[in-house]
Amino acid sequence: MIPLAEKRANARIASGVPGDAFSAKKALWLRVSSTFMAVARDSHISVIIATLA
Domain that holds residue 9: 4-52
pLDDT tens digits along 3-25 = 777 777 666 655 556 566 677 78
Distance CA 35, CA 42 (A): 11
Where does the chain show beta strands of DSSP type E? none
Cα four-point dihedral sign 43, 48, 51, 53: negative
Ramachandran category for residue 18: left, alpha or beta (phi over 0 → left; psi -120 to 50 → alpha)? beta
Question: What is the structure's pLDDT at 19?
Answer: 63
The total of structural domains in the chain comes to 1
pTM over 0.85? The answer is: no
Question: What is the structure's pLDDT at 28?
Answer: 86
Cα dihedral 10→5→23→40 (10° resolution): 150
